[in-house]
Structure 1
Amino acid sequence: MIEVTDFKNAMSLLTSAVNVVTTSGKSGRHGFTASAVCSVTDAPPTLLVCMNKASRSHTHFIENKILTVNVLSADHQHISRVFSSRMSPEERFEHGIWTELKTGAPVLEGALVSFDCQIEQIQKVGTHTIFICHIVAIQQSQHNQGLIYFNRAYHHVGQAEIA
């Protein structure tokens, strides 16, 4: 039997992109910081997003059936911290500039890329919910450095801009 602490320590060594996942609907705008996001297939374009069922905004994502995965650029570390804090949903969206694409879920201006999605399937596994999401729109920025999380710390990857 694998101990939870051993699993968490091992997973901290799995390098991940840092994302802010957002939704919008009748109950307002909500979002959370996530590293458990990955591609499923390119035909049709589909992402997988994992979310802790204990999250305050969990029900809002299920009810709204839409989300946007905003892949953070190197200069968005503060946005990651805000969306993993105890701030209210309203306070969180005071940080950054937010627009929208096709679904109406919030899109962070300057994110490396934003994947605007409809949630197609929902599966509960242990402490988390897995959202299988059909991508309906994509917006890319001109940033060339991404924000990753490795060994419980933020790091930058990609080409630094030359002045």
Structure 2
Amino acid sequence: GATVALVATEHEAARHAMLATAVTSVSMDPPSLLVCVNRTASSHAALRARGAFSLGIMAAAHRDLAAAIAQAPSAARFDHGTWRALRADSEAIEGLPWLEEADATLFCAIDVCHDYGTHAVLIARIAGAVGACPGDPLLYRDGGYGRFAAADA
């Protein structure tokens, strides 16, 4: 399974959001992460054009909220949950939408975008953050949502 992250951006007064499972850290210096986005995704063009996004770490308790966002048409994804617009000193991340219910949200500026196969590989610097992860992330596996379970010894 993979941890579920909510990627959101705003470009030309329109907000875009998608769930992603292809997310990993890249470097601590500079703090950065990698996100893979299918180039047919409705959010892809806006992510590239804006060059920045928020990445919310979804908790297992947010299973229904994540599913509602994933299943909603693009224009209706922001009808689910409590969304805010970031107020920041950095113009790169100013105004990015972020989901208040996420355990933690990272605000990222894209440094590298590389097309590979069907996807765009985005490498982004982490420019800000809110929240803290308590350690029970929402997972996605085989078409469904779940959580970690202790393994029998």
User: Same fold, TM exceeding 0.5?
Assistant: yes
Structure 2 residue aligned with 1:148:
139
1:20 equivalenced with 2:6 (yes/no): yes
Q: Choose from 112, 116, 126 the match for 2:107.
A: 116
Mind listing any 5+ residue stretches in structure 2 that lack a counterpart?
none
Name the aligned partner's letter for residue 132 of structure 1: I
- TM-superposed CA distance for 1:63, in Å, is 0.6
Residue 126 of structure 2: SS of its match in structure 1? strand
* Within-5 A mapping of 1:13-162: 15-89=1-75, 91-101=76-86, 102=88, 103=93, 104-141=95-132, 143-157=134-148
Q: Deviations over 1:50-98 (max 9, x none)?
A: 0000112211111111101111011222232233225132x11011111
RMSD value over aligned CA atoms?
Answer: 2.0
Per-residue CA deviation, residues 3-50 of structure 1 (Å, 9 max, x unaligned), is: xxxxxxxxxxxx210111000121410011110000000110001000
Relative to the length of structure 2, the TM-score reads 0.85
How many equivalent pairs are there?
144
**3-state SS of 2:79 partner:** coil
Output the CA distance in 2 between the equivalents of 1:34 and 1:82.
14
Rg larger in 1 or in 2? 1
Residue by residue over 1:95-122, the C-alpha shift from the partner in whole angstroms, topping out at 9 and shown as x without a partner, is: 1111233312211112121110011110
User: Structure 1 unaligned runs (5+)?
Assistant: 1-14, 159-163
> What is the TM-score when the length of structure 1 is the normalising length?
0.80
Q: State the identity %.
A: 30
Q: How many Å apart are 1:142 and its aligned residue?
A: 6.6
